[in-house]
């Protein structure tokens, strides 16, 4: 059975999730509870397609008030109302429902690619099949990218022996000296790859930096994140635990 993972914050998922018109801001959905985090006021749902908003996905939503989480536990079937404002969404109503549906499996396969690392060696995504992968698109001139790199390194060192791979794809153009200097400065130990023409970034629909994909052990995309994240935070750690679950 494939792993399940949460997203740290709800984001627009572009080609993965067909977004509806922003003028329509209330959406109804149903799904199963994967995890509840009362401190963060979030519920992770394995939900069915939310008509007009997003396809079936395992994803975490914030809730409008902590009282909405009372009594919810993993495995509960729920119906919910999602309020969407621009790129943000929050659950404003949620209630238990009856169903025997099992947790779904993601069906979005990550396109394979090959890119050179800083030593000139070609590294392919498929070389890491069997591992969970954090695939990050970044650049040295991107401040949020630089800020999240240290937490990516911490996450990699903590989880690499359990099967987590981290691939950081630089979109810097010209000389790679700036990339090399940054890698040395932070003492990064995961592979850093070069995509100066944005060939692979375009395949992955990277429209802003940083953009990060989480890919399960079978090569399927679980979620995409826009913007910088603390990859060593409590919510990120919960996501990695779920992603690495056999």
Domain spans of the chain, in order of start: 1-104, 108-232
Taking CA atoms, 101 is separated from 13, 98, 116, 220, 241, in Å, by 25, 9, 44, 21, 23
Range with lowest mean pLDDT among 37-51, 86-100, 175-189: 86-100
Pick 148 or 20 by higher pLDDT: 148
pLDDT of 3 above 80: no
| Per-residue model confidence (pLDDT) at position 24 | 54
Is the backbone of residue 41 left (phi > 0), alpha (psi -120 to 50) or beta? left
Q: What is the largest CA-CA distance in the chain?
A: 58
| Per-residue model confidence (pLDDT) at position 87 | 67
The helix (H) or strand (E) run that includes residue 134 is strand 132-138
Most confident segment among 35-44, 140-149, 213-222:
140-149
Give strand ranges (E) for 86-118: 88-96, 108-109, 114-117
Taking CA atoms, 50 is separated from 29, 30, 67, 148, 173, in Å, by 5, 8, 23, 31, 39
| Per-residue model confidence (pLDDT) at position 137 | 97
- The CA distance from 237 to 29, in Å, is 27
* 106: CB partners within 8 A, 6+ apart: 2, 57, 58, 216, 220, 221, 222
- The CA distance from 224 to 242, in Å, is 16
- The CA distance from 136 to 192, in Å, is 10
- The CA distance from 33 to 203, in Å, is 32
- Residues 101-137: tens digit of each pLDDT: 444 444 478 999 999 999 999 999 999 999 999 999 9
84 in helix, strand or coil? strand
- The CA distance from 31 to 44, in Å, is 10
The whole model's pTM is what?
A: 0.63
Percent of the chain exceeding pLDDT 90 equals: 52
51 in helix, strand or coil? coil
225 in helix, strand or coil? strand
Question: What one-character-per-residue DSSP string does 20-48 give?
Answer: --TT--EEEEEEEEEEEETTTTEEEEEE-
Range with lowest mean pLDDT among 26-30, 41-45, 96-100, 204-208: 96-100
**CATH class of the region 1-104:** mainly beta
Q: Which two tokens stand for residue 24?
A: 């329509």
Model confidence at 20, in pLDDT bands (50, 70, 90)?
Answer: very low
pLDDT of 57 above 90: no
Same fold? 1-104, 108-232 = no
Evaluate whether 92 touches 64 at the Cβ level (below 8 Å). Answer: yes
**CATH class of the region 108-232:** alpha beta
| Per-residue model confidence (pLDDT) at position 231 | 94
Pick 103 or 187 by higher pLDDT: 187
| Per-residue model confidence (pLDDT) at position 222 | 82
Among candidate residues 86, 99, 85, the one with its CA nearest the CA of residue 45: 99
């Amino acid at each position: 059975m494939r792993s399940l993972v949460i997203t740290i914050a709800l984001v627009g998922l572009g080609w993965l999730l067909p977004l509806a018109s922003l003028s329509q801001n209330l959406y109804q959905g149903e799904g199963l509870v994967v995890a509840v985090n009362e401190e963060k006021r979030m519920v992770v749902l394995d939900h069915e397609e939310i008509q007009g908003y997003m396809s079936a996905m395992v994803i975490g939503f914030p809730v409008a008030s902590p009282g909405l989480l009372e009594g919810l536990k993993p495995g509960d079937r729920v119906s919910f109302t999602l309020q969407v404002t621009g790129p943000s969404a929050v659950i404003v109503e949620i209630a238990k429902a009856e169903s025997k549906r099992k947790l779904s499996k993601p069906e979005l396969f990550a396109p394979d690619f090959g890119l050179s690392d800083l030593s000139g060696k070609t590294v392919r995504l498929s070389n890491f099949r069997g591992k969970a992968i954090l695939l990050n698109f970044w650049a040295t001139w991107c401040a949020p990218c630089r800020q999240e790199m240290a937490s990516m390194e911490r996450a990699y060192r903590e989880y690499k022996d359990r099967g987590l791979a981290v691939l950081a794809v630089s979109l810097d153009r010209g000389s790679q000296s700036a990339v090399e200097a940054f890698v040395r400065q932070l003492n990064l130990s995961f592979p850093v790859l070069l995509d100066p023409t944005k060939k692979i970034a375009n395949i992955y629909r990277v429209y802003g930096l940083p953009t990060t994909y989480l890919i399960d052990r079978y090569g399927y995309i679980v979620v995409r994140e826009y913007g910088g994240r603390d990859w060593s935070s409590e919510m990120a750690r919960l996501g990695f635990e779920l992603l690495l679950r056999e």
